[in-house]
Homo-oligomer: A and B are copies of this chain.
């Protein structure tokens, strides 16, 4: 036994600290009193809708887990099956807790905005987001440290079991992201098409029957979906790194535990960054960035100290720093393309109609791919050649994700602020409160774009770590593109993200269509709805979104799961090679398509908001109408299809890795 196992105790203790913060924050945001009946009622509706969706989704997931449990138990072992279940339940638990907090924090933020002003409201929303942030980080850390501690006697076993743990997280992420993404956009597009475009009533207007579903959608898509996505990346990168460490540094337990220790360090520095947000004297516009950068810088310092203290190969520090900094670069580029000069130009093109707005928005999306992907490529190259081979690449991935406590907190802040705006609008709190929530929401939109860029970047890094681990496990020394099986798998893999995107885009279209019909029906059949004298049937719209999301998510999910299995066995003796090529192809087209979609979507969204802020004729102008069309296309791009691709590239990798251990 190495001493370094003892560090797993420390990791667990840090995870415990993270849980403690989670619980405190949870209590703080849920134990508020709301004396305003209307807003209490509305937030109750949102909460119930979100929980109904989660309950129904989780009952389907229970069946998926049971099935996977049986397969893994039969093919591998009981511990493998249990680890899978543990990973899946962890992800679901994190989603549940984070959602519960978010759907209370939105109300608390509205109240704070009304009674205490801007900064308290901002901090309330941030605290609400921190529940998701720290539950993800702490749960992941305890899971990884615990499994490693329990099964460290045989390295092969522990890796197989960790992979199953990761697969559990991945499978939940798949359904949460695809299902949540379809839910949120069906509600959003449906609400907008009838409300904003056909009837000309404002966003978040309580007369719109789909308005509660739209607010629920923000929670289930952007909070629960994003949480499961990041949780998966977090686990996957560590699992990939440990698997590679076992080959690069066989028997040297301090290297095998290094990825876990990096997560522990990252959790500590995330906590420091989070609390710093309460004490730094700064305007709220830049507070989120400052806190995030602080966490990352402290993390880099902490990692350096740990490597020195443990007397480990200092070259690895290069990879760690590179990974953490790459995350910042990708975030900044995303920020530029979704809020900088390109947005104003995009808004300009709206003046000549929807066609030119779309052409220009797509061009922004295409161009936004270049710098992030080249950054990743160069980070990989430098990490590999100078700082520890593929193990270095995997550590870069871990480093990018180690401060997930902070980055996820910022991500989860966004939909809370968005919802707070919705609640204050529907409760009739007046323009003063709305102005505050709008500002918080704008900050959230910027961080959402950052968060999405970060999610993709980290997904690629995690996928690369898994990809390299796959090669080790499959005993593939060279993945030669001149081999016909590799080349064929490579091209076929490249089509998978396009197939998935086609399915998810159409699913949103179909689900939104059902919503449009229902909303139109209510406006026709319910007398007095338009005049505000009658209540719409919110529940029915919620149930339409829920049902559509859950049925539409199944087929694409199964395609993703079955594709690598089909390649592996379809190519017979060359199956392992073809699958390697398949992974490479799917990862490449997955990342470029995902970046295109999320950035173009973010750009359209913000160009529309720029016009709505009174530029180029403002709301109701021709330019605005054109920008709304762009935003309608961007919605499924950025919130459904793009994020689903993150899951795709990780899930096919982790599945392949598991197939290789067969």
Interface residues of A (CB under 8 A from B): 189, 193, 197, 349, 352-356, 358-360, 362-364, 366-367, 369-370, 373-374, 376-378, 380-381, 384-385, 390, 468, 471, 476-482, 484-492, 494-495, 498-499, 501-503, 505-506, 508-509, 512-513, 516, 580-581, 584-585, 588-589, 591-592, 596, 628-629, 632-633, 636
- Given A355-B628, A381-B485, A498-B596, 16 further pairs, Cβ under 8 A: A189-B355, A197-B353, A360-B505, A366-B502, A369-B499, A370-B495, A370-B498, A370-B499, A374-B495, A378-B488, A471-B482, A481-B581, A494-B588, A498-B592, A585-B588, A588-B589
- A544 to chain B minimum Cβ distance, whole angstroms, is 16
Assembly stoichiometry (copies) = 2
Instruction: State the 3 A-B residue pairs at the shortest beta-carbon distance, nearest first.
Output: A355-B632, A384-B484, A367-B502
Given the known A-B contacts A363-B509, A499-B366, A502-B367, are A492 and B355 also in contact in the complex, defined by CB atoms under 8 Å? no
Do B358 and A633 have beta carbons less than 8 Å apart?
yes
- In the assembled complex, the Cα of A366 lies from the Cα of B503 at a distance in Å of 9
Do A502 and B363 have beta carbons less than 8 Å apart?
yes
- In the assembled complex, the Cα of A525 lies from the Cα of B67 at a distance in Å of 73
- In the assembled complex, the Cα of A354 lies from the Cα of B357 at a distance in Å of 12
- In the assembled complex, the Cα of A359 lies from the Cα of B495 at a distance in Å of 19
Do B366 and A481 have beta carbons less than 8 Å apart?
no
- In the assembled complex, the Cα of A520 lies from the Cα of B482 at a distance in Å of 55
Contact pick for A629, options B471, B589, B629, CB 8 Å = B629
Contact pick for A495, options B354, B592, B633, CB 8 Å = B592
Contacts of A502 in B (CB 8 A): 363-364, 366-367
- In the assembled complex, the Cα of A240 lies from the Cα of B376 at a distance in Å of 32
- In the assembled complex, the Cα of A229 lies from the Cα of B501 at a distance in Å of 30
Contacts of A512 in B (CB 8 A): 356
- In the assembled complex, the Cα of A360 lies from the Cα of B508 at a distance in Å of 10
Do A360 and B484 have beta carbons less than 8 Å apart?
no
- In the assembled complex, the Cα of A359 lies from the Cα of B190 at a distance in Å of 14
Do A484 and B380 have beta carbons less than 8 Å apart?
yes
Contacts of A367 in B (CB 8 A): 498-499, 502-503
Query: Could you list some 28 contacts between A and B, CB below 8 A?
Result: A197-B353, A349-B509, A354-B629, A354-B632, A355-B632, A356-B513, A358-B632, A359-B508, A359-B633, A364-B502, A366-B499, A366-B501, A366-B502, A369-B498, A377-B487, A377-B491, A378-B488, A381-B485, A381-B487, A384-B484, A477-B482, A478-B478, A478-B482, A479-B481, A480-B481, A481-B584, A494-B589, A588-B588
